[in-house]
């Protein structure tokens, strides 16, 4: 009882997330275990698998060609069997849908094309029955220009909502700087004739920026968060975090950030729901994450590790691990309560903006050599499977995703190796309907025409790549992915433990050792298209046997006092030291 009271006290004061233990560690801890270890295990977001999907393209239940909540409910068993713990929903509120729903016109409702508020509640109930949490996109840097707030703000200088947005009577000197979508956007300040002034928009011109300097805006956003937390969501994926907290009148290319605004939002979430999480989208340099996580770990629970992700793709493109290893080390020192979210692909382009021009060109050459595969002068707009092009390297990438320090995030359809449609504009290339079967429209919809076209030609057409066929094939990517997710859940060391990169004296092979509560793991990955042989000193595992968690093999110390590993091209191996996990 004393420990429970202390946990609740710390939760209120420092923002610790106190909730039930993760499944892999559900046994009662002994009194000898430290208080901090108990808190660590109770951070549920550290040992889960997050699955990102969009209602538009997941499953259509009513034949109008657009996915909806009832369709998602129909497929919850599929996600449950796959091993998904957390569903991350893209925006589903009312919207003109000029930017995939990220142009919101009503923060409190459900877009009728996806169903009703009742359908949302039923979905939440069905997800909870299966033990799945739900986080939703929170898009509060900007609204749609069709939002009633902006429409009223345009009418008069005296409008209540005028100061809810960012205006300038004169065109700012940096009116065409700091664009999120260079090559597509022309400006970040646009003149509105009705308002007689320029309004700020870091994104498209139909997405005017909210003014977070206004306390009324802050209060309204808190109401929005409170509404959805009350509806049962477990937290938010916070969109475009640096833009929310920037001073819009500071230098567009080197803005001033007001982290106190972020702290206020997070404090409100913590008070409303103590174990709620915030997964932040903040593409920052190493060292800058400190202010986002909070120096005491009382900031955002998780952040996408964009920096490591970009260097991971450089390693996949070149077979050289040095830059990726440096990126992992550079992003290692984060607060105990914090966690990186690792991903391979998401709903946007593969952003390579943190690489040097030479490095970016090497990734382009390997994974996006044609101009129509590239986007915004910094990224690639392709799905993972067609980028990598072969099963072995695809498995290597996913083995890495599940074994890197942090929480894995999967994009819908990647578990079956879906492709892309480069005929679609910008990021829509990776936003095609889920391929459930070889029935018309990939089993996604019974409509005569779907809102987004299905991929019906080529190597990645739904005739070749679909869930139904892969379910029946024991060697399919789908069944392999489900097996790896189960394995990841049997390895809580990855989410909770301390980690060290082992020096193998190899430019191609990455080895990470995890330590947690007396249990140890060693994960080895060969980035080269050629077989590799590496050695690890016996003191790494105290001379104990290494039990392979993927194959029926063991590895012991040889006569020279080292462990020797033979890795095939793009090979990977997971080992438990001694073969016993401490519970």
Catalytic residues: 239, 281
Q: Could you give the CA distance from residue 296 to residue 337 in angstroms, rounded to a whole number?
A: 8
The residue to which tokens 């995890």 are assigned: 514
**In whole angstroms, how far apart are CA 461 and each of 106, 386, 426, 434, 456?**
36, 12, 20, 11, 4
* d(C-alpha 562, C-alpha 579), whole Å: 18
- Give the Cβ contact number of residue 460 at 10 Å: 22
Coil, helix or strand at residue 136: strand
Provide the angle, in degrees to the nearest 10, between the axes of the packed helices 322-330 and 306-318.
Answer: 170
Pick from 505, 149, 86: which is nearest to 322 by CA?
A: 505
Whether 26 and 51 have beta carbons less than 8 Å apart is answered as: no
Give bridge partners of residue 186 from the DSSP assignment.
Answer: none
Whose tokens are 């050289």? That residue is 320
Residue 511 has a CB neighbour count (10 Å cut-off) of 21
Q: How far apart are CA 485 and CA 164, in angstroms?
A: 44
Task: Please tell me the distance from the alpha carbon of residue 478 to that of residue 495, in angstroms, as a whole number.
Answer: 23
In angstroms, the CA 315 to CA 380 distance is: 16
Find, among 133, 130, 135, the residue nearest to 19 by Cα.
133
Of 13, 63, 227, 265, which Cα lies nearest the Cα of 136?
227
SS3 at position 150: helix
Backbone φ and ψ for 37, nearest 5 degrees, come out as -65, -40
DSSP state of 434: P
Q: Which of 212, 170, 77, 60 is nearest to 131 (CA)?
A: 77
Q: Rounded to whole angstroms, how far apart are CA atoms 169 and 195?
A: 10
Q: How far apart are CA 148 and CA 183, in angstroms?
A: 30
Question: Which residues have C-beta within 8 Å of that of residue 312, sequence separation ≥ 6?
Answer: 324, 327, 344, 400
């Amino acid at each position: 009882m004393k420990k429970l009271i202390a946990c609740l006290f710390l939760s209120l004061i420092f923002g610790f997330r106190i909730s039930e233990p993760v499944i892999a560690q559900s046994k009662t801890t002994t009194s000898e275990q430290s208080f901090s270890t108990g808190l660590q295990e109770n951070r549920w977001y550290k040992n889960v698998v997050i699955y990102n999907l969009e209602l538009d393209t997941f499953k259509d239940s009513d034949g109008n060609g657009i996915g909806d909540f009832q369709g998602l409910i129909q497929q919850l068993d599929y996600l449950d069997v796959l091993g998904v713990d957390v569903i991350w929903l893209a925006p589903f509120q009312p919207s003109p849908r000029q930017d995939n729903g990220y142009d919101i016109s009503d923060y409190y409702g459900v877009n009728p094309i996806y169903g009703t508020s009742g359908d949302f509640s039923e979905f939440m109930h069905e997800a909870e029955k299966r033990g799945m949490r739900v986080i939703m996109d929170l898009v509060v840097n900007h609204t749609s220009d069709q939002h009633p707030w902006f429409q009223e703000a345009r009418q008069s200088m005296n409008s209540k909502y005028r100061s809810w947005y960012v205006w300038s009577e004169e065109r700012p000197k940096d009116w065409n700087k700091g664009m999120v979508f260079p090559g597509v956007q022309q400006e970040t300040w646009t003149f509105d004739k009705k308002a007689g002034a320029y309004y700020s928009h870091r994104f498209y011109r139909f997405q005017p920026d909210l003014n977070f300097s206004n306390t009324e805006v802050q209060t309204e956003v808190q109401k929005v968060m409170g509404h959805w937390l009350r509806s049962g969501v477990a937290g938010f994926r916070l969109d475009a975090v640096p833009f929310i907290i920037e001073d819009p009148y500071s230098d567009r290319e080197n803005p001033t950030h007001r982290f106190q605004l972020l702290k206020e939002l997070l404090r409100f979430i913590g008070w409303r729901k103590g174990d709620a999480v915030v997964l932040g989208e903040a593409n920052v340099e190493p060292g800058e994450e400190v202010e986002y996580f909070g120096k005491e770990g009382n900031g955002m629970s998780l952040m996408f590790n964009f920096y490591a992700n970009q260097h991971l793709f450089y390693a996949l493109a070149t077979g050289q691990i040095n830059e990726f290893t440096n990126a992992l080390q550079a992003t290692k020192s984060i607060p105990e309560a914090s966690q990186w979210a690792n991903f391979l692909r998401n709903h946007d382009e593969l952003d390579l903006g943190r690489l040097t021009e030479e490095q970016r060109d090497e990734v382009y050459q390997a994974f996006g050599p044609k101009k129509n595969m590239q986007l915004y002068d910094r990224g690639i707009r392709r799905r993972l499977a067609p980028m990598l092009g072969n099963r072995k390297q695809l498995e290597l990438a996913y083995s890495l995703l599940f074994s890197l320090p942090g929480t894995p995030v999967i994009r819908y359809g990647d578990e079956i190796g879906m492709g892309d449609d480069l005929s679609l504009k910008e990021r829509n290339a990776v936003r095609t309907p889920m391929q459930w079967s070889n029935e018309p429209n990939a089993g996604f919809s019974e409509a005569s025409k779907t809102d987004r076209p299905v991929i019906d030609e080529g190597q990645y057409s739904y005739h070749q790549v679909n869930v139904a066929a892969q379910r029946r094939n024991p060697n399919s990517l789908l069944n392999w992915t489900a097996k790896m997710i189960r394995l990841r859940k049997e390895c809580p060391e990855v989410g909770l433990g301390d980690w060290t990169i082992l020096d193998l004296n190899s430019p191609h092979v990455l080895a990470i050792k995890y330590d947690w509560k007396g249990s140890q793991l060693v994960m080895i990955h060969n980035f080269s298209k050629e077989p590799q042989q590496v050695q690890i000193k016996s003191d790494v595992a105290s001379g104990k046997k290494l039990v392979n968690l993927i194959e029926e093999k063991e590895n012991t110390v040889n006569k020279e006092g080292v462990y020797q590993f033979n890795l095939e091209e793009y090979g990977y191996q997971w080992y438990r030291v001694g073969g016993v996990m401490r519970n």
